[in-house]
Structure 1
Amino acid sequence: MHQSPLAQPLELPCGAVLPNRIAKAAMTEGLSDDRLSATERHETLYRRWSDGGAGLLITGNVMIDRRVLERPGNVAIDPAPTEGEPENMAQLRAWAEAGTRNGNHLWMQISHAGRQSPRYVTNRPMGPSAVQLSLLGNYARPRALTEAEILDFIQRFAHVARVAKNAGFTGVQVHGAHGYLLSSFLSPVTNQRTDRWGGSLENRARFLLEAVRATRAAVGPDFPVAVKLNSDDFRKGGFTLEDSVQVVRWLNEERIDLLEVSGGTYEQPRLLGYSGDADTASEGPAMRESTRKREAYFLDYAQKIREVCDCPLMVTGGFRTRAFMEEVVATGETDVIGLGRPLCTDPDTPGDLLEGRIDKTVCHEDHVKLAQKGFFSPASPLMPIKVLNVLGGQAWYYQQIFRLADNEAADPRMGILRAIGAYLMDELGQARRVKKRSR
């Protein structure tokens, strides 16, 4: 019997081997306790995902700075204490053990939220420059980082990677996409600095490259170090595909093991399938027919990157059918298929694809149509409705993750208004508990 290309192992430059070509892409979990430590819910969730069959699991944001979070349920790892291990090391070890129990890899995604930290988390977000996020007033104006803070954060990326390795995670991913701190330094829209961390692309990429370099030095040559990078910010005057290609050339020199190609920011959330606005989106390559049908949002952009990238490539976003996944892996258009939302409702999706039990993932559009139940038109031209669709869909999937983490089945019939209400209660309640604990 012919083995699916998806079932082929992949040897990384560092020598580690992924058992197959399907990865669970990073999705923020929101499961930490009020100390921002991992919990038993992480263990339950990642045990289920490990048993689901993906060769690689990538965690959601693990933060290097507990003051500025992507959401109040993030896990955070503090700077190295004078002696000993972080106080949440036992929880990290339990998380790593649960998430690798099926022989798969589990990589920690290391991140700093930057200016994309909501007001109910912090009133003083940080960024390369004081450029405020224009999204419903929920994000305060960031303050520009000092050079001393940048240098400190570079070492924090390295420290968290070292902690991840010691805890039993089998790799790390440096998050340089989606408008978070490293990504915001890459964009001339958000990085208006005039020192050696701004201006030219070489200067704007310095933070990312030095963070990756320090991370590699911290974990050694035999431990997987990956990077998540925007192919394009989809904003006029922002970080473009041409910029991304050049940054990849520089990343080649840092000996990374896997490059995940994504795109967009909170203001242009292409990662969530939002098509953007003509007046803000930048121009990219002509879309192939399959991409127009939403089968792989960033594959066409990835092909330009593939031409210069020395390491294996992972593309995430929009993959639906097993036939198309097998095609793009067999032809070398990508080495790893990243799946996200399908695993929120069915954690066994990777194994079912690998074994041929299903021909397609459960479609996000079908879920949203069921959840909306006629309340909101997905094609509405009104910006409030567009935002509600994006955020409502996001809240819906957060609730499915919570159900999996509580060892329950997903609830595909959950209404979107119910999901939004539950999400807001969860977020605000966790934010209050975290702030109270930090006082």
Structure 2
Amino acid sequence: MSQIADQLQIRKTTFKNRIIKGAMSEALANTAGQPNQLHLGLYEAWAKGGLGCAITGNVMVDIRAKNEPGVVAIESERDLAKLQQWAQIGKQYGMVQLVQLSHPGRQCPKGLNKETVAPSAVPFSPALAATFGTPRELREDEILDIIQRFARAAQICEQAGFEGVQLHGAHGYLISQFLSPLTNKRQDRWGGSIDNRMRFLLEIYQAVRAATSEDFIISVKLNSADFQRGGISEEDVIQVFKAIDAAGIDLIEVSGGTYEAPAMAGVKAEKRKASTLAREAYFLEFAERIRQEVRCHLMVTGGFRTVQGMNTALASGACDFIGIARPFAVEPDLAHRLLAGQDVRYGVDKIKTGIPLVDKMAIMEIIWYAAQFKDIAQGKQPNPKLSPLKVFFKYLKGNLTAVIKGQINSRKSA
């Protein structure tokens, strides 16, 4: 009958409680993808707040494939000193830190990178086609290179002192694109059957495990569903969970959705049954089912708002960790409050600008929170009433600047 205050050990790492801050994009790095003092300030605020574990925002394994401006990239030991400082913050306060390693595949805004690659040249739906271009299909040698990039990044993370990494295999990012028949139309050993479509994920895991020590934690974030017609079936999803579990994964975070169907942001909550809403978590029912199929630890993120709901989920055995993301953007000390028996103060509604196209993309579910992170990192108080429209236009200006700089640099290097 687990509770949020209980400790849990994975390999030789002890999690002092069951509360994990889920990955959220910090958007604090420079154009070269380097971490800085703002990252340290942000994660120190969360660490002081009593968190048992924090999963970083997207960290790219290839600087040429950024999902947005301001993302961190780890390709070499260039930023090892700063990464060591970042890892030390967690150790100082007893907060485990997992670095979320990612490649966005086709989910890159037009003009941000020199080109966009994916398992197959599948365009986005008409609603998003103006923002995201049609990607180029990856060659075999490029696939193998990306696998090794994940391994190299993980190796550097361990060298820096982080306790582990999380492979981002959800939300329509590259690993997820390989898994889904909607975005993977390949006819070679990387496509077709589910055994082939999950080869990319399994080979990344094996490469990361080979490049790191026995004590290093490797987790993965996987979709319970894509929520898209023609996407990965529930039968295939279960097979993926069972395969990565059998391979030796330490922890699976259960999530769902893509940019085109962003269930991870809760936008489909209105379509869920009343009984599911009462239990808070978006993906708890699937976790209960998959719990019967896998032996590794499970984490469910999304929807938890009360201590009772969290403790009930843990006590049921459906999950071992409670993932909470967006509330930490406005309540950096939330973990302390939860452990004291107090519920989440700010209910997180969908962030809307009033511009239909923007709101349909759910991009504000990333950038509004990133604006809060910058304030927290600078020692300021977050603002739950911050104007989404103001944040969007500021982001648009910064994004346009980054794209223009990228185009200029591309011309110089050509």
The question of whether the paired residues in 2 share the 8 Å contact of 1:398 and 1:423 is answered with no
Once residues 303 and 434 of structure 1 are traced to their aligned partners in structure 2, the CA distance between those partners, rounded to angstroms, is: 45
| Of 107, 113, 119, the match for 1:116 | 107
CA contact (8 A) 1:393 1:416 kept: no
Shift of 1:145: 0.5
Matched, 1:151 2:144: yes
User: Which residue does the alignment assign to 1:346?
Assistant: 331
2:371 aligns with: 399
Q: State the distance in 2 between where 1:276 and 1:201 align.
A: 29
Q: Secondary structure at the match of 2:346?
A: coil
Question: Greater CA deviation, 235-244 or 325-334?
Answer: 235-244
Aligned partners of 1:234 and 1:240 also within 8 Å: no
Deviation (angstroms), 1:201: 0.2
Residues 162-177 of structure 1 aligned to structure 2 (within 5 Å): 162-177=155-170
Is 1:19 the counterpart of 2:13? The answer is no
2:252 matched to 1:259? yes
Partner of 1:421: 393
> 1:114, 1:127 within 8 Å by CA — same for their partners in 2?
yes
Alpha-carbon distance in 2 for matches of 1:436, 1:343: 37
SS of 2:165 mapped into structure 1? strand
- Structure 2 CA distance, aligned partners of 1:4 and 1:197? 40
In the TM superposition, residue 299 of structure 1 has moved relative to its aligned partner by: 1.0
Displacement, 1:360?
Answer: 3.0
Which residue number corresponds to residue 208 of structure 1?
Answer: 201
2:357 counterpart residue number: 384
Matched residue, 1:74: 71
Deviation digits for residues 136-182 of structure 1 (CA, Å, limit 9, x no counterpart): 51111101111111111111111100000001111111111111111
Q: Displacement, 1:242?
A: 1.9
Equivalence for 1:242: 235
Q: Which runs of 5+ in 2 are unaligned?
A: none
Deviation at 1:394, TM superposition (A): 3.4
What is the Cα deviation at residue 90 of structure 1? 1.5
Any conservation in 2 of the 1:4–1:354 contact (CA below 8 Å)?
A: no
CA displacement at 1:288 relative to structure 2: 5.4
Instruction: Give 2:118's aligned residue.
Output: 127
Give the partner amino acid of 2:392. I
SS at match of 2:110: coil
Q: What SS does the aligned partner of 1:342 have?
A: helix
Q: Which amino acid aligns with 1:420?
A: F
**Deviation at residue 420 of structure 1 after TM alignment:** 1.1
Post-superposition Cα deviations, 1:15-45, rounded to whole Å, max 9, x if no partner, equal: 3221110000000111112221101100000
Deviation for aligned residue 1:296:
0.9
CA–CA distance in structure 2, aligned partners of residues 348 and 41 of structure 1 = 17
Farther-moved stretch of structure 1 (321-330 vs 297-306): 297-306
Q: How far off is 1:393 after superposition? A: 4.2
Q: How far apart are the structure 2 equivalents of 1:161 and 1:417? A: 37
1:170-185 mapped onto 2 (5 Å cutoff): 170-185=163-178
TM alignment of 1:268-417, pairs within 5 A: 268-275=261-268, 289-292=274-277, 295-356=280-341, 358-365=342-349, 368=351, 384=357, 386-387=359-360, 390-417=362-389
Q: Deviations over 1:211-248 (max 9, x none)?
A: 01111111122111001001100111211222111111
TM-score between the two structures when normalised by the length of structure 2: 0.93
**C-alpha distance in structure 2 between counterparts of 1:425 and 1:100, whole Å:** 37
1:355 and 1:73, CA in 2 relative to 1: closer, same or farther beyond 3 A?
A: same
CA distance in 1, matches of 2:169, 2:215: 22
Structure 1 387/231 Cα, relative in aligned 2: closer, same or farther at 3 Å?
Answer: same
What is the CA RMSD across the aligned residues, in angstroms? 2.2
The number of aligned residues is: 409
Q: 1:277 to 1:144 in 2, by over 3 A?
A: farther
List runs of 5+ in structure 1 lacking aligned partners.
81-85, 279-286, 377-382
| 2:157 aligned counterpart, secondary structure | helix
Q: Is the 8 A contact 2:113 2:406 kept in 1?
A: no
Out of 7, 10, 14, the residue aligned to residue 9 of structure 1 is: 7
Secondary structure of 2:186's aligned partner: coil
How far is the alpha carbon of 1:4 from its aligned partner? 7.8
- CA contact 1:124–1:141 (8 Å) conserved in 2: no
Question: Which is further off, 127-136 or 51-60?
Answer: 127-136
* Equivalent runs, 1:42-121 vs 2, <5 Å: 42-78=39-75, 86-121=77-112
Shift in Å, 1:391: 2.8
Please give the secondary structure, in 2, of the residue aligned with 1:303: helix
| TM-aligned CA deviation for residue 359 of structure 1 | 2.4
Structure 1 stretches (4+) deviating beyond 6 angstroms?
A: none
Identity %: 43
Quote the residue 2:190 is aligned against: 197
In the alignment, the residues of structure 1 paired with residue 270 and residue 308 of structure 2 have an alpha-carbon distance, to the nearest angstrom, of: 31
Cα distance between partner residues in 1 of 2:339 and 2:404: 43
Judge conservation of contact 1:96–1:106 (CA < 8 Å) in 2. yes
Q: Structure 2 vs 1, CA of residues 220 and 393 (structure 1 numbering), >3 Å: closer, same or farther?
A: closer
Partner of 1:281: none
CA distance, structure 1, for counterparts of residue 92 and residue 118 of structure 2? 38
